[in-house]
Amino acid sequence: MEKRRNDEVIVVGGGVIGLTTAVVLAEGAGRRVRVWTRDPVERTTSAVAGALWWPYKIEPLALAREWALRSLDVYEQLAQRPEATGVRMVEGVLGEGDLDGADAWATGRVPGLRAATAEEHGGAGLWARLPLIDMSTHLPWLRERFLGAGGSIETREVSALAEAEAPVVVNCTGLGARELVPDPSVRPVRGQLVVVENPGIDTWLTSSDAASGEMAYFFPQPGRLLLGGTADEGSWSLDPDPKVAEAIVVRCAELRPEIAGARVLDHRVGLRPVRDAVRLERELLPDGRILVHNYGHGGAGVTVAWGCAEEAAALASP
């Protein structure tokens, strides 16, 4: 019994970072792992993500790229079973990108990376084949994989990390870390999406206007097309703005005219947990217990999830 107690880990946070970390701990480290989460996976911020693999709004970029490439290894394996895992390898264009800017971190590893042709994109851009994750499938799959490894999930509101009295606690609370740590450097960057019927688009595209800073992107997911987006610094509103939604559709239709007539299915809003730098570190508490922080991944939580999870699991070792 004492050994089980010493092996116990509580992961606070049940989004993609928390669940992926819990899976790595339960499978690789053989720990007795419990996840404490305020919301079921279907109602976490991760569930709203467009979920294209590519570092976005995350620092430090050099480390983020390392975590991203490790995660890419995993997603390529998971993409062999897309119906089960929700992960597919899909081609598309990173608008306004160029091979010089992509640098060696991507050119030597990202599949199909090349300059986009004029037919593929009107301006400069990079063509690539990247993981595109359907979070409505991937998050429940992660949950079941974790439970299958012997883990358990408890739905509970946590008002302080001190409530988790396990020998090892892993803080994967995202934006919640602002109050729980407390860490006021964590801030929301609001993203709004419009979900429409897919008019036959099978590639993704991201684009941004250098002058206005406005973004446009569309991601084909099973049975729907996700349109975005926004990056509103410091906004806490979870209510979709009809005018913003209309503008998103207009911007995306400028890239693919057939989007203009697509029937709207849903509106979504998520708050990216942005920090000046991801906090991925070990803290030794006064009573000798270990607290590992793994939060502040901005708009790249899905992109770096597996790389960060493996590092967090190593930090959680006694």
125 appears as a binding residue in the annotation = no
| Residue 148 C-beta-side C-alpha neighbours within 13 Å | 6
301 appears as a binding residue in the annotation = yes
Widest distance between CA atoms in the chain: 65
Strands (E), the chain: 8-12, 32-37, 87-95, 114-115, 125-133, 152-155, 168-171, 187-196, 204-208, 215-221, 224-228, 232-233, 264-284, 290-297
Dig out the tokens for 24 from the structure.
């790595």
217 appears as a binding residue in the annotation = yes
Q: Tokens 């973004």, residue?
A: 215
The DSSP H or E segment spanning 242 is: helix 242-255
152 appears as a binding residue in the annotation = no
- Give the separation between CA 218 and CA 91, rounded to whole angstroms: 12
- Give the separation between CA 46 and CA 110, rounded to whole angstroms: 24
303 appears as a binding residue in the annotation = yes
Residues 6+ apart with CB under 8 A from 235: 188, 189, 190, 271
21 appears as a binding residue in the annotation = no
- Give the separation between CA 188 and CA 67, rounded to whole angstroms: 22
272 appears as a binding residue in the annotation = yes
Dig out the tokens for 250 from the structure.
């207009």
Phi, psi of 62 (to 5 degrees): -60, -45
206 appears as a binding residue in the annotation = no
45 appears as a binding residue in the annotation = yes
Which residue ranges make up the annotated binding site for FAD? 45-46, 173, 298-303
Which residue ranges make up the annotated binding site for D-dopa? 217, 272, 299
Which residue ranges make up the annotated binding site? 45-46, 173, 217, 272, 298-303
